[in-house]
Structure 1
């Protein structure tokens, strides 16, 4: 029960890594806000947590400041405080660089970079007012550090959005340290989620990935959730501005 009496917000918790993180936090005693545009998926996450779990589903868009503020206000009204924020919501696009349009570029950056900025800023203000410190955990990607073209196409807008989030985490870690708030990244490699399902359904693409994984298997959402639990708990109190790679050794070769 490492998170007993703690309140956590997990964005994009209606499926995949976000769902696994939310369920892990529930199992460790936390109150969990399941925030997602997909309300049906978020309700399913809450159902999977079990009737004894203390959760709240909020349908919201991380790119809209007023909706983020509403999420924070509802969390405080329901649970009294915010101790942990996991910025997990994200999208990807596969349009090649020379064909990439403004709309897709803006959409990917709005969700992957502006969203965590808004959520972190508004949550941090509440954490500071409460005076109990806090944890901010951003889900970046190995693609914040290396170019991975597992789809056969580069993803410049995804790379730049996750690279920006990597440095945003470092910046807010420095600024918020004085308030006892830490900020760290988790950089997943290839993980079996709805996010990657279409690509991994192609046997050639899956083999291409497996050939580049020293551990010999594709990641599971629980692999990411275990890292999130570590960063959310007191076990990581001496870490801030860091990145935990959960990538099966992808970036080691």
Structure 2
């Protein structure tokens, strides 16, 4: 159990990649704060964990500073510390650039970029206060590094939000390194989650993806979770400011 006696916050842990990350952390012995706006989904995640897993549910809108600070304060109050933060909560939208409205632009950036900033800042302050270092892991995307489109249109608001999170990872890694806090990112390719199930249900779309992925399969949330858990363990102690791409080889070419 590589995360025994560790306390982790995983945002967006009520479904998809976040749920898989929380479940893998339970397996490795961590106490997990399952944070999500969807409180029912968060409780479902805990119900899937093995017997004896230690967990706490926090209903939180991670785009709101006060709610983030309350989440962190509650974790410290009830669990005593925070060793690991996984900024997983995210949204995706497919509106073409020329039709994209300001409200949707702001919503995507608030969830995908502002929220990791708020959570990382609040958690890092507690990590520094405790003086024991820590791990911050951001879930970005291969679309932080390349534009992906099967139809001629793409997702400029999503691409830019994840690209911003990529650079936030590097900048905070540099600033927090003197405190023993590592900051890394995991960049998934196409993964079978509630976000992608509608698109993957279209045979032509799924085939377009499989034609470009050397591994010849769509990713699973467990693939992302395994990478996150590695970066959270002592095995990754000398790794910071980097991105682990989990895409079946899509970005090789």
8 A contact 1:31–1:54 mirrored in 2: yes
CA RMSD of the aligned region, Å?
0.8
8 A contact 2:137–2:184 mirrored in 1: yes
**In the alignment, is residue 193 of structure 1 matched against residue 193 of structure 2?**
yes
Q: Who is 1:111 aligned against? A: 111
1:223/1:151 CA distance change after superposition, 3 Å: farther
1:151/1:124 CA distance change after superposition, 3 Å: farther
8 A contact 1:151–1:199 mirrored in 2: no
Offset from partner CA, 1:144-187 (integer Å, 9 cap, x none): 00001246631000000000000000000000000000000000
Offset from partner CA, 1:101-122 (integer Å, 9 cap, x none): 1000000000000000000000
Q: Who is 1:126 aligned against? A: 126
Alignment of structure 1 residues 19-168 onto 2, 5 Å: 19-150=19-150, 153-168=153-168
8 A contact 2:27–2:50 mirrored in 1: no
**Inter-partner Cα distance in structure 2 for 1:201 and 1:151:** 16
8 A contact 1:137–1:231 mirrored in 2: yes
1:150/1:25 CA distance change after superposition, 3 Å: farther
Alignment of structure 1 residues 159-238 onto 2, 5 Å: 159-238=159-238
Q: Which runs of 5+ in 2 are unaligned?
A: none
**Inter-partner Cα distance in structure 1 for 2:113 and 2:86:** 13
SS of 1:153 mapped into structure 2: coil
Aligned-residue offset at 1:77: 1.1
Aligned-residue offset at 1:240: 0.4
1:18/1:177 CA distance change after superposition, 3 Å: same
**Inter-partner Cα distance in structure 1 for 2:221 and 2:152:** 24
Q: TM-score, normalization: structure 2?
A: 0.99
Greater mean deviation of Cα atoms: 151-160 or 165-174: 151-160
Greater mean deviation of Cα atoms: 75-84 or 47-56: 47-56
Greater mean deviation of Cα atoms: 109-118 or 142-151: 142-151
Q: TM-score, normalization: structure 1?
A: 0.99
Aligned length: 253
**Inter-partner Cα distance in structure 2 for 1:135 and 1:45:** 22
**Inter-partner Cα distance in structure 1 for 2:219 and 2:66:** 35
